[in-house]
Amino acid sequence: MAATEASGAAQDEYDVIVLGAGPTGENLADRAHAAGLSTVVVETELVGGECSYWACMPSKALLRPVTSRAEAGRVPGLKDAVAGPLDAPAVLAHRDAVTSYWKDDGQVRWLDSAGIDLVRGHGRLAGPRRVVVDGERVLTARHAVAVCTGSRPVLPPVPGLAEARPWTSREATSAKSVPGRLVVVGGGVVGVEMATAWRALGSSVTLLVRGDGLLPRMEPFAGRLVAEALAEAGAYLRTGVEVREVRREAPGGPVTVVLDSPPGPGGPGGTPRDEIVADELLIATGRAPRTDDIGLETIGLSPGSWLDVDDSCRVTGVTGGWLYGVGDVNHRALLTHQGKYQARIAGAAIGARARGVPILETDPWGAHAATADRRAVPQVVFTDPEVASVGLTAAAAERAGYRTRVVDHDLGAVAGAFLYADGYRGRARMVVDLDREVLLGVTFVGPGVGELLHSASVAVAGEVPLERLWHAVPSYPTISEVWLRLLESYRG
Amino acid sequence: MAATEASGAAQDEYDVIVLGAGPTGENLADRAHAAGLSTVVVETELVGGECSYWACMPSKALLRPVTSRAEAGRVPGLKDAVAGPLDAPAVLAHRDAVTSYWKDDGQVRWLDSAGIDLVRGHGRLAGPRRVVVDGERVLTARHAVAVCTGSRPVLPPVPGLAEARPWTSREATSAKSVPGRLVVVGGGVVGVEMATAWRALGSSVTLLVRGDGLLPRMEPFAGRLVAEALAEAGAYLRTGVEVREVRREAPGGPVTVVLDSPPGPGGPGGTPRDEIVADELLIATGRAPRTDDIGLETIGLSPGSWLDVDDSCRVTGVTGGWLYGVGDVNHRALLTHQGKYQARIAGAAIGARARGVPILETDPWGAHAATADRRAVPQVVFTDPEVASVGLTAAAAERAGYRTRVVDHDLGAVAGAFLYADGYRGRARMVVDLDREVLLGVTFVGPGVGELLHSASVAVAGEVPLERLWHAVPSYPTISEVWLRLLESYRG
């Protein structure tokens, strides 16, 4: 067995080399190993990756108390008990425990028990099938190298910004104390989640957004409902503004954010200019692939670029087809679960190809095609209200040329919802492909909808016809009964 | 239009007569009316039925504060705030509001706006297609009579029980004050939900069960986990006991429940006998169809029997095929949502048959067959932990002759679950049909799984192949990720 041969520590030839030990790299290694391939993972930081230490895990640990308190606050007989502030030190301590105090012993043990080798250090490609770690150790791959290095936050080119050492998603999820005043720049998922968390933990929060609303890639009502809730929670939201300059006089001291509003009706030049002084500044405006220093140039690719891949996550245009780009680096869907999904598929494809089994990565929904990346990407935003969506928005479906019908329903009118929370506010939308009568996308916004999403994911990925969805009876009285209302509205 | 003709109040001939204005009757009337048929509903109690006033709605209103408090109690930063007791008067007042103070004005307005006539009074069949209300008004049906009278709790024949005027589900959901000591007899859904609610509202609760566990029709771990939680909440559970006698000396006074334990190893006769004194006694041991006084004998059927129906809910063996039995009365699945489902299907079938359109009620998953009654009945038990199941249990699938594989997973090991609640305890099971590789049944037990159930309902009713379920990616980190674990375990 190749896997057994790989167990020697001095082994420098493997079937598969994985760059990056985040969830994507771990899952890819697991699948490759399960296919009987010797596998090594190269990691320069912590095994477990961004998700475990500076993203999903700590952010959810910060947010769960916020949503739980908000929900309890809408329940008769309990409202008064939770009217006070959250115990911030307890929340932060829990967050620390959830990240295993930023130590990766547990994950290293898992790799070990799974029979996967780990090489710590910075891995760079050095020509085909070859990786050099920290400029010293040379690893070669018989079958495949998988780049699973993920992405990093990008600071926009604003004067003074880098020097002011702002928070990125990393600092926002790992901060040890609650800033008095926090300015958040960016209205995407990181921006709204961290604004929600730190506001509830006690910060005075101002959220600055360049566009006209929050969560711009989702259905418009999602951003509207989250904006309303942030305002009610006491956060300030300013849309249509741009950061022109940032100043921090002394490390740890206050930071000044200088704003430009966009040109008003009077034309450019006459716009007001104002400044906000805060204790911390979080920049959450975009991400870049961690491919700038992994030796892409040695195989004719551009350093710092997103990797272009086919549906099996094999990088296109590489002679011999030995390079894979899995997870954030391929820019298909920058989400942990989607990276893991790709890893399962790419790992299976690597295994099949290594055995000489022909695979059809163009076979939709097959074992070797990450079809869901294009058709059924789910996402939950853990704000209050929660936002949960899968598949295409109405606008995206229209752009893609589908003949669609959009059906909306007020979640607050569903019995299960108003029993769940007094004064429940929320909304659901389904986007129907009229030609096939299947769902292209579904969005739920409201308290407690996070777990409801998977019903939509099964319906979208399963291409379950609407006619059959009538037989999937929602239990009464749950929020899920909105499914019935959506089907009724569609029937008209 | 027949529907327009029906709007005159003096109209006594209708296309469709519906006996019972619970959710089932309302939905059936709605569908019949939508099919262009004049429709009248006859109701002797409140429009809205058991569900609105004495079951789903008030019970969920009592239980939501309980689960919300339990969940907040597992969240760091919030635990201490909810350590105190629930504000019982606030919960009861909310419950009163949720039932509209046991007034049906709103539901009557809905019937009115929907163009459906309402006749208040007790309706009895008087031969084919004829209903007499309160022995006076005669209604005739051109096409169909639908019996949607539901079910009622049954008191077992225990000496002194009826005289002691125990609570049934009605009193348990509508009681105006919290009894000091409550004995609950029966370990089914009503028993465990009401034990959970009243314990949290302050009662000292003893739950008496004849068998060896709770929720006997569900997967065995469901009852075990609920029993553990009830014990931790301070309720007493006694299994394997039978109530031999009940005594209440004075109305409103304490009630004495005399127990028999089953024969022990020493054989019959040597069993201990003991008594429990309580302030209230809830009997939740079974239900009977409300068909005992609706004139079934006038058309050759037995009063008090469950109605035997085909998959379109048409009563079998009735000449002319004009009689339908929809909801609890047909004993297919005694659940509000399943009655509503049947009502949609039966209403459509009545409409089609009235137009002379041939229908195939034997066509599985078609528009006129309540196939889900046999294959995909969902149920949520709103205890802490919640229990959510759909389709067949492992035992039921085996009895039905399927070749199955049962896959279990510890929910507490799912990242989304332990972020949801510190010390999360729960379990998931899927039952796979090995011949078709689709799911026959799924059960989730744990905090916050109620809305997760619909994903399983879509998978089971949609007969989505396991191979495709791999592409329904659970969002990270949600409890839904248990789907991935179950699929992984199945793959082995």
Is pLDDT of B213 > 50?
A: yes
Tell me the C-alpha distance between A140 and A423, whole Å.
61
Q: What band does B38 get if pLDDT is binned at 50, 70 and 90?
A: very high
- Whether residues B77 and A87 touch (CB distance < 8 A) is answered with yes
Size of the A and B interface in Cβ pairs below 8 Å? 268
Token digits of residue A219: 């259905």
* pLDDT for position A271: 47
Where do you find CATH 3.50.50.60 in chain B?
A: 2-48+104-152+288-372, 169-285
CB-based contact B462 A459, cutoff 8 Å: yes
According to the model, what pLDDT value does residue B170 have? Answer: 97
A381, closest residue in chain B (CA to CA): B475
Out of A86, A337, A468, closest to residue B475 by CB: A337
- In the prediction, which pLDDT does A1 show? 31
- pLDDT in the model for residue B4: 35
Q: Which residue in B has a C-alpha nearest to residue A367's C-alpha?
A: B467
- CB distance A33 to A116 below 8 Å: yes
Question: E strands along A255-385, which residues?
Answer: 255-260, 273-278, 280-283, 287-289, 323-325, 378-381
Are B457 and A448 in contact (CB < 8 Å)?
Answer: no
- Could you write out the DSSP letters of every residue in B319-375? TTS-EEE-GGGG-S---HHHHHHHHHHHHHHHHHHHTT----TTSTTSTT--THHHH
The percentage of residues in chain B with a pLDDT greater than 90, rounded to a whole number, is 91
- The CA R_g of chain B, rounded to the nearest whole Å, is 24
Helices (H), B215-279: 220-232
Who contacts A464 (Cβ-Cβ below 8 Å, separation ≥6)?
A: A438, A439, A458, A472, B458, B462, B464
Beta carbons of B378 and A475 less than 8 Å apart: yes
The partner residues of B48 in beta bridges, in order of sequence, read none
Q: Do A478 and B453 touch (CB under 8 A)?
A: yes
Distance from CA of A184 to the nearest CA of B (A): 23
Residue A323, CA distances (Å) to A36, A309, B457 in order = 19, 9, 40
Q: What is the mean pLDDT of residues B268-281?
A: 75
Burial category of A277 from C-beta neighbours within 10 Å (exposed 0-12, middle 13-18, buried 19 and up) = exposed
Q: What pLDDT was estimated at residue A211?
A: 94
Of B93, B335, B471, Cβ closest to residue A376: B471
Tell me which residue in B68, B458, B483 faces A464 most closely, judged by beta carbons.
B458
Of A56, A336, A477, the CB nearest to B57: A477
Task: Find, in chain A, the residue whose alpha carbon is nearest to that of B457.
Answer: A472
Per-residue confidence (pLDDT) for residue A208, from 0 to 100: 97
Instruction: Pick from A368, A480, A481, A488 the residue to mutate for testing the B interface (most B CBs within 10 Å).
Output: A480
Per-residue model confidence (pLDDT) at position A268: 42
* Confidence at residue B11, expressed as pLDDT on a 0 to 100 scale: 55
Which percentage of chain A shows pLDDT scores above 70? 95
Asked if the Cβ–Cβ distance from B376 to A472 is below 8 Å, we say: yes
Of A340, A379, A471, nearest to B372 by CB-CB distance is A471
Annotated binding residue B186: yes
Query: Which residues of A are annotated as part of the binding site for NAD(+)?
Result: 186-193, 286
What does the pLDDT read at residue A7? 39
Average pLDDT over chain A reads 94
CA distance B299 to B11: 24
Distance CA B251, CA B270 (A): 34
Q: Is B49 annotated as ligand-binding?
A: no
pLDDT tens for A408-446 read: 999 999 999 999 999 999 999 999 999 999 999 999 999
Q: Average pLDDT in the A287-297 region?
A: 98
Query: What is the pLDDT at residue B273?
Result: 62
Mutation target among B75, B460, B470 for the A interface, most CBs of A within 10 A: B75
Topology classification of domain A162-285: FAD/NAD(P)-binding domain (3.50.50)
Residue of chain A with shortest Cα separation from B422? A94
Mean of the pLDDT values across residues A107-133?
Answer: 97
CA–CA separation, A313 vs A299, rounded Å?
17
Report whether pLDDT(A106) > 80.
yes
* Spatial separation of the C-alpha atoms in residues A87 and B290, rounded to whole Å: 53
Q: Do B452 and A454 lie within an 8 Å CB cutoff? A: yes
Q: Does domain B169-285 have CATH number 3.50.50.60?
A: yes
Measured CA distances, B193 to A53, A360, B215, B313 (Å): 39, 51, 11, 30
What is the CB neighbour count within 10 angstroms for residue B302?
11
Q: B152 pairs with which residues across the strands?
A: B288
Mean pLDDT of all residues in A145-174: 97
Partners of B338 on chain A (C-beta within 8 Å) are 473
A22-41 tens-digit pLDDT: 999 999 999 999 999 999 99
Residues B434, B331: Cα–Cα separation, whole Å: 29
Asked if omega into B477 is within 30° of 0 (cis), the reply is yes
Fold of the domain spanning B385-491: Enolase-like; domain 1 (3.30.390)
Taking alpha carbons only, the member of A83, A50, A86 closest to residue A65 is A86
What is residue A474's predicted lDDT score, i.e. its pLDDT? 98
Chain A residues near residue B68 by CB distance under 8 angstroms: 71-72, 75, 78
The rounded distance, in Å, linking the Cα atoms of A311 and A363 is 9
Q: Is B189 annotated as a binding residue?
A: yes
CA-atom Rg of chain A in angstroms: 24
Q: Do A480 and B451 touch (CB under 8 A)?
A: yes
Contact call for B57 and A415, based on CB within 8 A: yes
Q: Does residue A8 carry a pLDDT above 60?
A: no
Best CA proximity match to B325, nearest among B121, B14, B24: B24
Establish whether B302 is an annotated binding residue: no
**pLDDT, tens digit, 9 for 90 and up, residues A135-153:** 999 999 999 999 999 999 9
CA distance B325 to chain A (A): 19
Q: Which residue of A has its CA nearest to B389?
A: A475
User: Mean per-residue pLDDT for B402-431?
Assistant: 97
Q: Check if the beta carbon of residue B63 is closer than 8 Å to that of residue A420.
A: no
Arithmetic mean of pLDDT, A384-388: 97
CB contact under 8 A, B450 and A69: no
B269 is in an annotated binding site: no
User: CB–CB of A198/A205 below 8 Å?
Assistant: yes
Average pLDDT over residues B383-409: 98
Contact B365 A471 (CB under 8 A): yes
Helix (H) / strand (E) element for A247: namely strand A242-248
* Residue B188 is assigned to a ligand binding site: yes
- Closest in A65, A72, A98 to B77, CB measured: A65
Q: Which residue, among A31, A96, A451, A468, would best test binding to B if mutated, counting the most B CBs under 10 Å from its CB?
A: A451
CATH H-level superfamily of A2-48+104-152+288-372: FAD/NAD(P)-binding domain (3.50.50.60)
Q: In the structure encoding, which two tokens stand for residue A201, read together?
A: 């933990």
Task: Summarize pLDDT for B292-319 with one digit per residue, the tens.
Answer: 999 999 999 999 999 999 999 999 999 9
Look over chain B and give the mean of its residue pLDDT values, rounded to a whole number: 94
Q: Considering CB atoms only, which of B82, B371, B379 is closest to A471?
A: B371
Phi and psi angles of residue B427, each rounded to the nearest 5 degrees, phi first? -155, 150
In angstroms, rounded to a whole number, what is the distance separating the alpha carbons of residues A45 and A271?
Answer: 45
Confidence category of residue A360, pLDDT binned at 50, 70, 90? confident
Which member of A88, A372, A458 has the closest CB to residue B455? A458
More confident residue, A449 or B85: A449
Q: How far apart are the CA of A125 and the nearest CA of chain B, in angstroms?
A: 30
- Yes or no: say if A220 and A253 are a contact pair by the CB < 8 Å rule: no
pLDDT in tens, B49-68: 999 999 999 999 999 999 99
Which residue of chain A has the CA closest to B447? A451
| Alpha-carbon distance B119 to nearest alpha carbon in chain A (angstroms) | 26
Measured in whole angstroms, how far is the alpha carbon of residue A209 from the centre of its chain? 19
Domain with CATH 3.50.50.60 in chain A: 2-48+104-152+288-372, 162-285
In the structure, what pLDDT confidence band is assigned to residue B137 with cuts at 50, 70 and 90?
Answer: very high
Q: Do A336 and B472 touch (CB under 8 A)?
A: no
Segments of chain B assigned to CATH 3.30.390.30: 385-491
* pLDDT tens figures, A225-267: 999 999 999 999 999 999 999 999 999 899 999 998 655 444 4
Please indicate whether, in this complex, the C-beta atoms of A372 and B65 are within 8 angstroms of each other.
no
Residue B480, CA distances (Å) to A63, A110, B411, B450, B484 in order? 18, 22, 10, 11, 8
Residue A261: its pLDDT value, please? 65
Q: Which long-range contacts (CB under 8 A, 24 or more apart) does A202-206 make?
A: A202/A85, A202/A86, A202/A88, A202/A178, A203/A178, A203/A179, A204/A180, A204/A234, A205/A181, A205/A230, A205/A234, A205/A235, A205/A236, A206/A181, A206/A182, A206/A235, A206/A236, A206/A237, A206/A238, A206/A276, A206/A278
Give pLDDT, residue B85. Answer: 86
Is B205 within any annotated ligand binding site? no
Name the minimum distance, in Å, from the CA of A344 to any CA of chain B.
10
| Six token digits for residue A366 | 């097959």
Smallest Cα distance from B346 to chain A, Å:
13
Segment A42-96, tens digit of pLDDT: 999 999 999 999 999 999 999 999 999 999 999 998 988 898 889 999 999 999 9
Closest residue to A462, CB basis, from B82, B472, B478: B472
Q: Do B94 and A76 touch (CB under 8 A)?
A: yes
